[in-house]
Amino acid sequence: MSHEYEVTVVTRAESSEADRRKLLDDIKKLIEAEKGKVVGTEDWGKRNLAYDIKKNPQGHYSAITFEGFPNTPQILSSKLRLMDELLRYLIVTKEGAKVEKKGKTKTESS
């Protein structure tokens, strides 16, 4: 579990604080179900969207940082896709996270 990821979610701006908190708790449970570990959460607040998404000009942004296995983002993405409460989501590898190289490396010979 050496990979660190961040999932950013955009929810409807008019949804209540309790609904957003429940949604974030559900996402955390999905991460933990895949043997991931939630490192932290951030609430970025309500922001104007560059374009309307599902007829919503604004969205509420939140981010969850977590550690997980390499297949965790794919599994999480397939489950987030089914959540109607989300306008958008994005899962990225955090900067400075360990990345394993595959394949041969070239060595210089004298």
Tens-place pLDDT, residues 2-30: 789 999 999 999 889 999 999 999 999 99
Pick the CATH number of 3-93 from 3.30.70.270, 3.50.50.60, 3.30.70.60, 3.40.50.1860: 3.30.70.60
**Coil, helix or strand at residue 55:** coil
Closest CA to 27 of 60, 59, 63: 63
**Over the chain, what is the mean pLDDT?**
86
Q: Which residues contact 20 (CB under 8 A, 6 or more apart)?
A: 11, 60, 62
Above 90 in pLDDT, residue 94? no
